[in-house]
Amino acid sequence: MFVVDLTFDCYQDTTLEHAEQAINRLVNALRFNGQIMGEEFPTVLKDGYFITRVMCPTEDAMHPLNNSPFVKHSIEKLHSAGLLAPKIKVIGQDIHSNGADTCKSPSSYILYTTYVHTCSPLYCGDDFLPVPLFTIPAIANGDYKTLIKWQEDWQACDNAGSLLRH
């Protein structure tokens, strides 16, 4: 996975509340499209702009060609909060994360997660590497929210089971 900074410049006066809502809407859209991973996205306000740090499954995950209709809509909604579309800066590859699957046409897929995984819940059946969700056809409403929600629910149950064993 890759560490990426999203920088949101303010082009007009806004409130912290409006900016935060617009950034959160976009982050959730990116998350449910599989372009960013995880559940926590630190955001800082610095010198009149916001920076949100995210984890992406591939170096090119934030390319506009990967954007779902909801991501595109969320980028447009930034303007009503006085923010420009984010500038994207790839910081580098995370040394502690799994790589991403690069198979062009896997023979099968495996739905898999544990409470410690922050990668895609869909794995390639050929090399057992996580498949970036935005590389496969959307499954519902133009994104992968149902898969992400399944992963969250499973991780919560897996974590509870782990705690009960100790």
Give residue for tokens 């970036």.
132
Distances (CA, A) of 106 to 87, 113, 123: 33, 19, 10
Mean pLDDT of 55-63: 97
Tens-place pLDDT, residues 4-53: 999 999 999 889 999 999 999 999 999 999 999 988 999 999 998 999 99
pLDDT of 166 above 70:
no
DSSP assignment letter at 122: E
The boundaries of every CATH 3.30.70.100 domain in the chain are 2-93
Answer CATH for 2-93 from 1.20.1050.10, 3.40.50.300, 1.10.8.50, 3.30.70.100: 3.30.70.100
Give the predicted TM-score (pTM) of the model.
0.89
**Chain mean pLDDT for the chain:** 91
Give residue for tokens 């992968």.
144
Tens-place pLDDT, residues 154-165: 888 866 655 566
